[in-house]
Amino acid sequence: QEYTALKLKVLEWAPKAEETLKGKIPSDGTVFMVPATLRPETMYGQTCCFVGPKINYGIFKASEKDYYLVTDRAARNMAYQGVFAKEGVAEKVAEVQGSDLIGTLVNAPLSVHKDGVRVLPMETVVPTKGTGVVTSVPSDSPDDFATVADLAKKADYYGIKKEWAELEIISIITTPSYGDRCAEFLVKKLKISSPKDTKQLDEAKELAYKEGFYQGVMNVGEFKGEKVEAAKPKVRQQLFDAGEAFAYSEPERKVVSRSG
Ligand code: ZZB
């Protein structure tokens, strides 16, 4: 899997993270939360950034002033992909648990929400996939739509401010079958009522991927009016050129053969 690893600059730490990280990052250093995405063309619609509350994250030195927040596993992989200064070495300067990051304010490149977006909890983040950090695009990702709806509904339970989960969901892609916000359409059509409806959400994700990629037309940004298929590599390249993203590949997973 070739992901786009996006750099979400931390603008303001949540109080618990601030305390944990005190003295560990130089005052002129910049920390980026780094989600891995397969849909760079949807980055205009980012409304928050998810972490797994029980997942442990590391902060790794990427260059003289830049630091990346990802899982240890992702950092190890990145070390062999030319992401850090020294091949094979991921220098960890601090550790922080996902729950302590909730409420952190980050800048999401390309997002229409220019004042930044919040770090919020997502129970279904897989610790062994991507970077363990997930950027949320509720217009086009059914998982993200179901999660932000749940977060807004139970803001007190999650210990967040309701408005953090209620940033406007603009349309990024128009599709012939599912309209302007295919995630919301599919969540309703498949009667998904919670982020825990994983079976229906997997189905919705498949449908959204296919329809978005093959039939979708961009509704925002520099490539507005172009097919998603054409716009996707161009948006990705722009993010690379701007220094706002880099390529990240997941090592091959071992596939167990049924014939033994
Ligand atoms: C933004 C985005 C916008 C995404 C969209 C999807 C969609 P896949 O297909 O199963 O490999 N993701 C990345 N890492 C994790 C993780 N550790 N745990 C849970 N989810 C994760 O999934 C790749 C997508 O799953 C990634 O692309 C990311 O969400 C999320 F409009 O980034 B995506 C129809 C999907 N649309």
Would 223 be classed as within a structural domain?
yes
Would 249 be classed as within a structural domain?
no
Q: Give 13 Cα–ligand 1 centroid separation in angstroms.
A: 24
- The residue whose CA is least distant from atom 7 of ligand 1 is 141
> What does the alpha-carbon distance between residue 116 and residue 71 come to, in Å, rounded to a whole number?
22
Would 80 be classed as within a structural domain?
yes
Would 259 be classed as within a structural domain?
no
Q: Give 134 Cα–ligand 1 centroid separation in angstroms.
A: 7
Which has the closest alpha carbon to 42: 260, 169, 226, 232? 232
- Of 110, 128, 129, the residue with max ligand 1 atoms within 8 A of its CB, to mutate for a pocket test, comes to 129
Contact 223, 235 (CB under 8 A): yes
Query: Can you give the pLDDT at residue 252?
Result: 79
- Per residue in 161-196, pLDDT (tens digit) is 999 999 999 999 999 999 999 999 999 999 999 999
Would 194 be classed as within a structural domain?
yes
Query: Can you give the pLDDT at residue 260?
Result: 39
- The residue whose CA is least distant from atom 6 of ligand 1 is 141
What is the average per-residue pLDDT within 214-222?
97
Q: State how many domains the chain has.
A: 1
Would 134 be classed as within a structural domain?
yes
Would 14 be classed as within a structural domain?
yes
Q: 0.80 exceeded by the pTM?
A: yes
Its sign, for the CA torsion 120, 124, 128, 130, is: negative
Q: Give 154 Cα–ligand 1 centroid separation in angstroms.
A: 23
Q: Measured from the CB, is residue 46 less than 6 Å from ligand 1?
A: no
At 86 the three-state DSSP class reads: coil
Q: Measured from the CB, is residue 111 less than 6 Å from ligand 1?
A: no
Q: What is the chain's length? A: 260
Its sign, for the CA torsion 40, 67, 165, 113, is: negative
Would 255 be classed as within a structural domain?
no
Q: Measured from the CB, is residue 136 less than 6 Å from ligand 1?
A: no
Domain range spanning residue 85?
2-242
- Per residue in 228-251, pLDDT (tens digit) is 999 999 999 999 999 999 999 998
Q: Measured from the CB, is residue 132 less than 6 Å from ligand 1?
A: yes
With a pLDDT cut of 90, the percent of the chain lying above it is 96
What is the average per-residue pLDDT within 73-84?
97
pLDDT at 72 over 60: yes
Query: What order of strands is seen across the sheet that includes strand 92-97?
Result: 92-97, 56-61, 66-70, 30-33, 8-12, 105-107, 117-121, 48-51, 133-136
> CATH number, domain at 146?
3.90.740.10
